Amino acid sequence: MRIPLPRMMRTWREREFEQHLSPATVRAGLAFWGFFAKRPRLYGIATAMAAWLLARAGRTRGRFSWLPFASGWTCHRDFPAPQGGTFQAQWNRERGRLARTPPPYPPPHAGEGREGAASGAGMGGGSGRDARGPGSPP
């Protein structure tokens, strides 16, 4: 039996939205986040500033036992202070580093076995035969 969970959950969310069952603070928070999410550059600047401010404020203990707008979280646990930049900044830095990294193997030299590269010879795969189909030019 297949239960259409995604459709059911979407229906319940639509009803909740139409009837304004979620608290006004939740709706306002999502609207606030949506404003920034529609503007990626502004979102990046705002998250970088927030991470910097939280890192500065929490540098002595390395954590927060109370934060405004996060009292539900900090009521039962500490909130860790950011240690570095935002996730997006780290992602872009890593992606740029990976783009500059040479491949882990050298490219084939001119004149080296075209058949070997095409059939996967030396890599544990293929039958050792030429991978080109019958009748194809050498």
What gap in Å lies between CA 31 and CA 92, rounded to an integer? 27
Q: What is the amino acid identity at position 72?
A: G
Q: What is the pLDDT of residue 36?
A: 93
Rounded to a whole number of angstroms, the distance between the first and last alpha carbons of the chain is 55
pLDDT at 82 > cutoff 90: no
Mean pLDDT, the chain, as a whole number?
A: 78
Whole-model pTM over 0.95: no
Helix %, strand %, coil % of the chain (to 5): 50, 5, 45
